[in-house]
Chain A
Amino acid sequence: MDPDILRSYIPMFSEAFLLTVRIGWIGILISLALGILCAFILYFRIPAASFLVKCYVELFRNTPLLVQLFFIYYGLPALGIRISAEVCGALGLGLLGGSYMTESIRSGLEAIPYIHTESALSLGMSRSQLFSSVILPQAFYISIPGIIANVIFLLKETSVFSAISLMDLMFRAKDLIGLYYNTTESLFLLVVFYVIMLLPVSVAGSVIEKKVRYRMFGD
């Protein structure tokens, strides 16, 4: 491995890194918003809407992100719907993540035993009080581990963005391997930047999970 080559590649990789991280986190925010919305629709059994949400979740949980991105980026323009690569990346990741987040949040909401609802109502709480001070706080802690796992999964999925010609880390690495054939250096930097991107999230995730478990079960 040649340190001079490494040094000259770092700026290119950091630029790609920032792009990947930016689109990745925008996608994750979209997925969280979508997940919360869809989980509420499922929890409150809103007719029609909850059927649509079920179809959406099944459709996106059972197809790969790569195929979804190809469909949005290359398939839709044939019908006249044209979106830029960056928006497409964030949107695709958000749609994929939304379906996973929906499942995690919904299972958190449904894990609260029915007796809590009954007890709260018999104590004279209103429906909105029941939801905001009994169900939501508990469901939040139950869904946290699932949400963290999804965040890590989604950050990893950002690696397929290069397929829709976004200049992300994978694109850079493949480009440099093709141009200069410095395979070892490119791959090394690729791994380093992915570790920088994911290790803090993974570590922070385990810490938060432990804290949550402590709050819930006290062990």
Chain B
Amino acid sequence: MGFEVLFKGKNAIRLIAGLGIAMRISIISVAISIFLGIILGMLMSMKKPIINAIARVYLEIVRIMPQLVLLFIVFFGISKMTGLNLSAEASSIIVFSFWGTAEMADLVRGCLLSIPAIQYESSKALGMSRLQTYVYVIIPQIVRRLIPLSINLITRMIKTTSLVMMIGIVEVLKVGQQIIEANRKASPKAAFGIFAVIFLLYFLACWPISCLSRYLEKKWES
């Protein structure tokens, strides 16, 4: 079936290290996205017309442009237009943060707007200051809604980072191809084994995170 290639030399470790590269890119991008997304989401919930107009255009661009197109624009386009030599990894982090920030901002905005106005009014009536209202009333509720959703964003980010092989980063799929090519004569069925293992590796990386997100959502629902 082609699984024996995995046990030759360091093939299995190389594959996992390849997944590690994809994971590193996604973790850095998620961290940037969550930070910037929260700021942008808060700005958007203030209902200032100019900010909202800009944010809507930005969200619509992210909504309709495939991430791979954005990757191509940054990786090939920017270096051609500005002469700047961005590494493939830097461009992928820029693109995934650009995309993730929009997604995160939309989530934050949705959560903020879902808090009924009566809660702000009640806090005021109870004599709470603005800071107290946010710290004791609004933020605890938002965090509970936001955490499952942002964990979900992490799995989507991990899945999307598989695209980086298309701009030449040697991650798990590329390593898999290299292993298959190197063993073409010795084990011609390696393609099946390697790609099945990569399939499983991605599943094992994302599934626990999805389960955690679903569990937290259920737990905090009531």
- Chain A residues in contact with chain B, CB under 8 A? 58-59, 61-64, 66-68, 70-71, 74-79, 152, 156-160, 162-163, 170, 173-174, 177, 183-184, 187, 190-191, 194-195, 198-199, 202
Q: Does B77 contact A (CB under 8 A)?
A: yes
Task: Give complex CA distance A76, B162 in Å.
Answer: 20
Interface string of B182-222 (1 = CB under 8 A from A): 00000011111111101100110011001000000000000
- Nearest residue, chain B, Cβ from A177: B76
B72 and A67: CB pair below 8 A?
no
Q: Does B84 contact A (CB under 8 A)?
A: no
Instruction: Count residues of chain B with CB under 8 A from any CB of chain A.
Output: 42
Task: Give complex CA distance A58, B76 in Å.
Answer: 35
Main secondary structure of the interface of A (DSSP, over half): helix
Task: Give complex CA distance A170, B69 in Å.
Answer: 7
Q: Which of A74, A157, A195, A202 contacts B191 (CB 8 A)?
A: A74
Interface string of B96-119 (1 = CB under 8 A from A): 000000000000000000000000
- Chain B residues in contact with chain A, CB under 8 A? 1-2, 60, 63-69, 72-73, 76-77, 80-81, 155, 159-160, 162-163, 165-166, 173, 176, 180, 188-196, 198-199, 202-203, 206-207, 210
A159 and B162: CB pair below 8 A?
no
Task: Report chain A residues within 8 Å CB of B202.
Answer: 62-64, 67
Residue of A61, A75, A174 contacting most chain B CB atoms (<10 Å): A75
Task: Give complex CA distance A195, B62 in Å.
Answer: 11
Task: Give complex CA distance A60, B159 in Å.
Answer: 11
Q: Which of B60, B76, B80, B173 contacts A70 (CB 8 A)?
A: B173
Q: Which of B2, B80, B166, B194 contacts A162 (CB 8 A)?
A: B166
Task: Give complex CA distance A10, B206 in Å.
Answer: 40
Question: If A58-B207, A67-B162, A78-B188 touch, does A159 touch B195 (CB 8 Å cutoff)?
Answer: no
Question: If A62-B202, A159-B66, A191-B69 touch, does A67 touch B207 (CB 8 Å cutoff)?
Answer: no
| Closest-CB distance, A161 to chain B (whole angstroms) | 10
